[in-house]
Amino acid sequence: MSTLVALLHSRGARRFRKSHLSMVGLVIALLLVVVGLLGPLLLGPDALALHPARDLAAPGRYGPLGNAENGVDLLSALIEGARLSLFVAGLSTLVSATVGVLFGAFSGFVGGRIDALCMRLVDVLLAFPGILLAIYIAAVLPPSVLNVVFALSATGWVGYARLARGQVLEVRRLDFIEAARALGAHPVRILLRHILPNITGPVVVQASFGLSTAILAEAALSFLGLGVPPGEPSWGALLDEGVDHLLVAPHLSIFPGICIFVSVLGFNFLGDGLRDVFDVRSQR
Amino acid sequence: MTTLVEARGLKKHFQASSGLFAGSKKVLRAVDGIDLDITAGETLGLVGESGCGKSTLGRVLLRLHEPTAGTIRYRGEDITGLPAGPLRALRRKMQIIFQDPYASLNPRMTIGSIVGEALQIHGLAPGAEREARVASLLERVGLRPDVMHRYPHEFSGGQRQRVGIARALAVEPEFIVCDEPISALDVSIQAQVVNLLQDLQQELGLTYLFIAHDLTVVEHISTRVAVMYLGNIVELASRDDLYRDPKHPYTRALLSAVPHPVPGGKKERIALRGEIPSPIDPPSGCKFHPRCPEATDVCRTTEPTLVTLGGTRQVSCHLYPGDRPS
């Protein structure tokens, strides 16, 4: 807890607060999380009800952002979509980061042949464009929200593994690791208490960028019809729907596009800001 | 006079691969055949230029690095091949203090948990007792006990070094390797830490291996002094003998480089030529011969052995044939 307090008062945190872009990123991220969490409360029970008479109505006529196919209110759909997109992005980032960090940290900590083997596996996976592999996995599996999470995590963990291994190699040569060994600490204790807490900074930064990548990847999968099951209004799915009516009802494409664009931008700004906070030079 | 630590033929070689696809594996001989006895209660100073293997020797003695060859005995017991379990128990007896007080404390742990971890690992001072024990350790090294809830970045180098000392003391060790414990500190702080180490030695009966390159500090603190050059001990003598009458040409050169506080005093500076050679490809014969002002033909071809001189002093140099075996 007091680490957190110290972090909030660090020079990096001050730089974060002074930087407009970082603060914009933070506000966007918080706004998305709040909307995502409170979505059902904001919407009311029949917000996503069908009104065939309002099919593809322009913004302002019935709802502020217009209506989608079968007259579903677009704003309500986007709010529901925020929940879905954030859930998929958040969970896949969490799974990727956890798996990747454990794998990479183990690899770097053990070293030697096992490390070389682990990293070759990572190299092979990195040789595929991540989204291609995710498309393949999503195409093979039946459509469901959790399968999308799986497809994104299956490719996403590799980057964290690389990062964590590099960080472990850097941290493990520091004297306090040697001191722990000299005290007779078990290797598991050294890994959990001395190494992992000291590589969290870069991982959190990476995860922030990872969230924006995952939002984009989920949108791409859903846009291709490989993402969430039909009827689930993720942003990518709404965008996909909009393409069918691009000339008659462009608002159907524009507003989901803006949502994706703004949230990706927000998490990127946040990541940039966090990089300043965790910068080693600002920790002394 | 019991021998606490005893090293025989100790070697530590590192694989030094050069380039991406290193065809020929090169070997860095950091410690290259060292015999050394450390007597209980003494402070053995270990000096030498950077890269001569002093720190590696200290770490190999504690088995933080595994020796390539040779044996280490602790209180007569061979600990060279000791498996992980008994080795962990032995760690209570031998500790280390580091050079860089900024790298030697985990920045994510409080001072209290850094010092308390040692107690936790060895099951000393369980529960509430631990906090009291940590407090008394901190007091012993001259810190206020309430610093235990704070983090390393809130402290100066000297204070951090005290925390490092408290951590080493927590397991009640007998033998401490001090790996250049003051060379990273401000001059004004150095004396305080040296005095602290000396007080602790008196109170607790500690044995030190004091690694340094500051010859003045070593003279102040040591009982005996060993001089290392490229992985070997070239001279080992009692402090007074070594400083009053250095025998090995390298020791003489080192001592002549110490600045003297008396202006206009007698100065015979022996300037060494060249850099310290690489321990990957050390010179033939006596490793010191390319820089030695008194090198002869035999030095280029034959490696000298450590011989005893005048009973207690050991020198490794062709200039000194050693005591006649009686």
Q: Is B106–A183 a contact, with Cβ atoms under 8 angstroms apart?
A: no
Q: Residue B200's pLDDT is what?
A: 95
Q: How far apart are CA B189 and CA B235, in angstroms?
A: 30
> Tens digits of per-residue pLDDT, A95-146?
999 999 999 999 999 988 999 999 999 999 888 888 888 889 888 998 888 9
Instruction: Report CB contact under 8 Å: B108, A174.
Output: no
Closest-CA distance, A209 to chain B, in angstroms, reads: 24
Is A10 contained in some domain? no
* Average pLDDT over all residues of chain A: 86
Task: State the nearest Cα–Cα gap between B118 and chain A, in angstroms.
Answer: 6
Does A197 contact B153 at a Cβ distance shorter than 8 Å? no
Distance to chain B for A174, nearest Cα, Å: 6
Instruction: Specify the range with the lowest mean pLDDT, choosing from A13-17, A233-237, B63-67, B163-167.
Output: A13-17
Residue among B104, B106, B148, B161 with most chain A CBs within 10 A, to mutate:
B106
Give the C-alpha separation, B35 to B10, whole Å.
7
Tell me the residue type at A117: L
Q: Cβ contact (<8 Å) for B153 and A183?
A: no
Residue A151 structural domain:
18-43+73-279
Cβ separation of B109 and A193 shorter than 8 Å?
A: yes
Instruction: Tell me, yes or no, whether A257 lies in a domain.
Output: yes
Report the gap between the CA of A193 and the closest CA in chain B (Å).
Answer: 9
Report H helices in A172-199: 175-182, 187-189
Instruction: Give the helix/strand (H/E) hosting B176.
Output: strand B175-179
The 3-state DSSP class for residue B104 equals coil
Give A-chain residues touching B167 at CB under 8 angstroms: 179, 183
Question: What's the pLDDT at A284?
Answer: 39
CB-CB neighbors (< 8 A) of A6 in chain B: 151, 153
Q: Chain A interface residues facing chain B, Cβ-Cβ under 8 Å?
A: 2-3, 6, 174-176, 178-186, 189, 193-194, 197-198, 283-284
B73/B54 Cα distance (integer angstroms): 19
Residue in B91, B99, B100 closest to A183 by CB: B91
3-state secondary structure at position B228: strand
In a domain, residue A56? The reply is no
Q: Which of B96, B102, B108 sits opposite A197 (nearest CB)?
A: B108
Picking from A182, A262, A44, the residue whose alpha carbon sits closest to that of residue B96 is: A182
A184 in any annotated domain:
yes
Three-class secondary structure of residue A142 per DSSP: coil
Q: Is A151's pLDDT higher than 70?
A: yes
> Between chains, do A198 and B108 touch, taking CB under 8 Å as contact?
yes
Q: Which residues of chain B have a Cβ shorter than 8 Å from any chain A Cβ? A: 59, 62, 64, 87-89, 91-92, 94-96, 98-100, 102-110, 117-118, 121-122, 149, 151, 153, 164, 167-168, 170-171
Separation of alpha carbons B112 and B117, rounded Å:
8
Contacts A–B by Cβ distance under 8 A: 72
Q: How much of chain A exceeds pLDDT 70, in percent?
A: 93
pLDDT score recorded for residue B22: 52
Which residue among B94, B100, B121 sits closest to A175, beta carbon to beta carbon?
B100
Q: Kindly give the confidence (pLDDT) of every residue in chain B, 326 residues in length, as a single tens digit, with 9 standing for 90 and above.
A: 789 999 999 999 988 765 555 556 788 889 999 999 999 999 999 998 888 899 999 999 999 999 999 999 999 999 998 998 899 989 999 999 999 988 999 998 999 999 999 899 998 888 788 999 999 999 999 999 999 999 998 899 999 999 999 999 999 999 999 999 988 888 889 999 999 999 999 999 999 999 998 888 999 999 999 999 999 999 999 999 999 999 999 999 988 888 776 666 566 677 777 777 888 888 888 999 888 888 888 888 888 988 888 878 999 999 888 766 54
Distance CA(B26)–CA(B4), nearest Å, equals 34
Contact A173, A111 (CB under 8 A): no
Cβ distance of A185 and B121 shorter than 8 Å: yes
For residues A22-40, give the mean pLDDT: 86
Instruction: With cut-offs at 50, 70 and 90, classify the pLDDT of residue A9.
Output: low
Which of B92, B103, B151 lies closest to A6 in CB terms?
B151
Nearest to B108 among A3, A175, A184 (CB): A3
Sign for the pseudo-dihedral over CA of B297, B298, B303, B308? negative
Query: A184 and B89: CB-CB below 8 Å?
Result: yes
Interchain CB distance below 8 Å, A184 and B64: no
- From B326's Cα to the closest Cα of chain A, the distance in A is 43
Is the pLDDT score of A156 beyond 60? Answer: yes
Contacts of B102 in chain A (CB under 8 A): 284
Q: Which residues of B touch A198 (CB under 8 A)?
A: 106-108
> Are the C-beta atoms of B248 and B304 separated by less than 8 Å?
no
Out of B59, B106, B168, name the one closest to residue A194 (CB).
B106
* Total tally of structural domains belonging to chain A: 1
Domain-located, residue A142: yes
Contact A184 B151 (CB under 8 A): no
Q: Is B16 helix (H, G, I), strand (E, B) or coil?
A: strand
The pTM for the full model equals: 0.82
Q: Do the chains contact at B98 and A175, CB–CB below 8 Å?
A: yes
Give me the CATH number covering residue A259: 1.10.3720.10
Is residue A4 assigned to a domain? no
Please tell me the predicted confidence (pLDDT) of residue A7: 66
Least CB-CB distance to B62: which of A176, A182, A193? A182
- % of chain A beyond a pLDDT of 90: 40
Residue A4: predicted pLDDT:
62
pLDDT tens by residue, A69-86: 777 888 888 888 888 889
B122/A184 touch (CB, cutoff 8 Å), yes or no: yes
Q: What is the mean pLDDT of residues A234-263?
A: 88
Q: Phi and psi dihedrals of B208, rounded to 5?
A: -115, 140
Mutate to test the interface with B, among A176, A189, A196, A279 (most CBs of B within 10 A): A176
User: Which of A8, A181, A183, A203 would you mutate first to test chain B, the one with the most B CBs within 10 A?
Assistant: A183
- For residue A89, the Cα-to-chain-centroid distance in whole angstroms is 4
Instruction: Report CB contact under 8 Å: A2, B151.
Output: yes
Query: Could you tell me which of A146, A141, A277, A164 has the C-alpha nearest to residue A210?
Result: A164
Instruction: Note whether residue A63 is domain-resident.
Output: no
Chain B closest CA to A181's CA: distance in Å? 7
Q: How far is A284 from chain B (nearest CA, A)?
A: 6
Q: Could you tell me the sign of the dihedral formed by the alpha carbons of B123, B129, B131, B135, in that order? A: negative
Does residue A6 sit within a domain?
A: no
